[in-house]
Structure 1
Amino acid sequence: MTTTYYPGASRAYDFSGSYKGDLMDPDKVLLHTTEGTTLVDYSKGAVAPNITAKPNFDKKRLDWYQHYLFNRSARALVNKAGGVETNTDDVVQVELVGTCDPTHRKTWGKLQAGVHYIYWPDAPDWALDDLADFLAWQNVKNGVPLTAPKEWLPYPSSYGNSSARMTFAEWRDFSGVLGHMHPPENLHGDPGNIAITKILAKAKTKAAALKGGSTGGSTGGGATTKPTPKPAPPFPGVNKFGPGKNNASITLLGQQLVRKGYGKHYTSGPGPKWSEADRLNVRDFQRAHQDLAGDADGIPGPKTWKLLFA
């Protein structure tokens, strides 16, 4: 079952009430660049992706804004009636605020690349890290392979019917990470020659960490054995969590949140003293699980604890 909500993503630009989209089971993530420097409303959702990543230069991170759930089709591709159905072919669409146009490699009017906007082929490591976090999460939670087409042409040679553009059959058969330059029926060339090899290498490392690393040693015949799962620790009680609390259960909670991919709000790692980062990370976990989303208060109860340690 598709995990539909990215932990920590804002719903300030949620368009699902206006455009419901088709149900899908993601096997692709497609990267766009907005070719702008600010967050836009995509004509009130009419041409929106599933999610947008906006650079936060003060905090050196990407701020995420989710527009549609990951089991619903977005609207940012050309999707001709009776054609290959690009928007609805199980693809999670991501817009990266910034540009792939080398005309703006250094400056854009009075704005400076790396200071006011990102030229994505030269994106800073912190932006690539956050994008890799997202792809690793999609791999672990939704099974999107961390593979990509070989050709990621620089803009503007990526525009139009270039050698990177897929046929209908290639598009339908592909699973993994690709760009707007790849799907048929489309002409756009974004995100250009983004550092996809570096991004996927980072994502694979992060995905392995999310999965818990190695599955065990050799049994002699080349097979591997999975370790016996540890039983979930008993729920310590609601009174262990919240403002002013300081105990080992908070550390254990934080460590498990990080293992599950919900440690985004920590800046120096989990610890025994309850913090706002603990509350936000628990809230994100609760929001991402449908049976907890109605009570996403950021304080773990027995059900949250059980799911977190499942």
Structure 2
Amino acid sequence: MPEAWMAQAIKTDLGDHAPCDPAFPPKAIAHITADRKCTAGAPLDLVPFARLKDFFTQGGKGMAPHILWDPFTGAFAQFFPATSRSKSLDDPPGGTRTNRAGKVVVQIEALFFPHCRVDGHVFARLGDTPCKGWSDLNAWVRSWGVPDTWPMGPPAGFVPDRSPGVWSSQGGWYAHAHVPENDHLDPGSWPAFVPGQPGQPGRVHTARPAFEPFPGASFFRAGQKSPVIAAMHRRLVAEGCNRYQPGGDIDAWGAGDVSSYAAWQQKLGFSDGDANGIPGKSSWDRLHVPNV
């Protein structure tokens, strides 16, 4: 039987427990606290873990997650057992009950905001942090039957991509930007899943890279459909290279992909025939397309 309270977490039970809905598959939702706004040119110090923990036990009770995670120190605080819903998602009347739509709906708030400063170093993406404690957190969530998959694709920039049908039918990890009836765009990035270890519940995973390896220029042909193309699409949009027309299939290679990828190549300093919109290994590796 999996543990309702994560052993590594400070237990700060808020009470007010309520059941989840087992008619839906188990899920985990990835958030960042995003408690400060700054830029690469004007970074700000990370808010202390203790301050966020106190917030969720006081004025922020109405939006508390299951787990607050500090990826710089590996500290955790837990406010609800895994068997209860938490309150980090907007849940308007009618529609799906977002905080309950799963056998479990484990909400994780990573203590992070883009361009936060820690010990003199600035971090643009959550995935760039040390991600201390992630292996423990991944294993605990996995123990509740949440598969190591991103049904809507791994978060790759602050881009919304919501599908109520996928949300209702598929278990796994969802970005806040993937959740129906919500308008947040976080977390922007997330660490790669940790290979399964002996004795851990859930399926055993083989190690794989965080980013998609270059599939070769011949892969990018008209009409080619793949989740790799969808992940590339999201990264190009996140990088400000959106030359797509609305309404297209984001997983099928087409004219919008060529135009958008050419914009990415130009952003990297390529020109003429080297900015023809067909991915090459150098530009692909620098795009950091998440492994799907």
TM-score range, shorter chain: 0.5 to 0.7
Hey, what does 1:210 align to over in structure 2? 199
* Residue 136 (structure 2) aligns with: 133
1:31 aligns with 2:47: no
Q: Aligned equivalents of 1:191 and 1:5: distance in 2?
A: 24
1:120-165 per-position Cα deviation (integer Å, ceiling 9, x unaligned): 444334x1x52232112221x211101113252312xx1xxx3x22
Q: What CA distance in whole angstroms lies between the structure 2 residues aligned with 1:95 and 1:64?
A: 10
> What's the counterpart of residue 128 of structure 2?
123
- Is contact 2:177-2:183 (8 Å) kept? yes
- 1:4 match: 4
Residue deviations 1:39-64 (CA, integer Å, cap 9, x gap): 24232421100111024x5xxx3111
Give the alignment partner of residue 153 of structure 2, picking from 150, 174, 177. Answer: 150
Q: Does residue 187 of structure 1 match 2:192?
A: no
The amino acid across from 1:182 in the alignment is H
Aligned residue type for 1:31: A
Deviations 1:261-292 (A, max 9, x none): xxxxxxxxxxxxxxxxxxxxxxxxxxxxxxxx
> Contact (CA 8 Å) 2:33, 2:112: kept in 1 or not?
yes
Matches of 1:50 and 1:29, distance apart in 2: 10
Partner AA of 2:162 in structure 1: R
Q: Distance in 2 between matches of 1:114 and 1:188?
A: 28
Structure 2 counterpart SS, 1:208: coil
- Give 5+ residue unaligned stretches, structure 2: 36-46, 205-292
Specify which of 91, 96, 99 is matched with residue 87 of structure 1: 99
CA distance in 2, matches of 1:213, 1:86: 24
Give 2:280's aligned residue: none
Cα shift at 1:118: 5.5
CA distance in 2, matches of 1:15, 1:213: 29
Mark the CA change 1:118 to 1:21 in structure 2 (over 3 Å): closer, same or farther: farther
Task: Please tell me the residue identity of whatever aligns with 1:152.
Answer: P
Spell out the pairing of 1:261-272 with structure 2 (5 A cutoff).
none
In the TM superposition, what is the alpha-carbon distance from 1:194 to its structure 2 partner? 3.0
Confirm or deny: 8 A CA contact 1:98 1:119 kept in the other structure.
no
Q: Distance in 2 between matches of 1:152 and 1:214?
A: 22
Alpha-carbon distance in 2 for matches of 1:212, 1:138 = 10
Name the SS of the counterpart of 1:3 in structure 2: coil
Distance 1:184 1:212 in 2: 29
Q: Could you list the runs of 5+ residues in structure 1 that have no partner in the other structure? A: 216-310
Q: What RMSD in Å do the two structures reach over aligned CA positions?
A: 2.8
TM-score normalized with structure 1 length: 0.52
Q: What's 2:162 paired with? A: 165
Change (3 A) 1:6 1:212: closer
Matches within 5 A, 1:206-245: 207-211=196-200
Runs of 4+ in structure 1 over 6 Å off: 212-215
TM-score (norm 2): 0.55
Partner of residue 236, structure 2: none
User: In structure 2, do the counterparts of structure 1 residues 142 and 194 end up closer, same or farther at CA, with 3 Å as the change threshold?
Assistant: closer
Shift of 1:116: 7.5
User: Which residue of the partner structure matches residue 90 of structure 2?
Assistant: 78
CA contact (8 A) 1:30 1:177 kept: yes
Query: How many corresponding residue pairs?
Result: 182
Compare CA radii of gyration and give the structure with the larger one: 1
The 10-residue stretch of structure 1 (22-31 or 70-79) with the greater mean CA deviation from structure 2: 22-31
Encode CA deviations 1:180-218: one digit per residue, 9 max, x unaligned: 0111101111110334xxx21xx2x2x233349999xxx
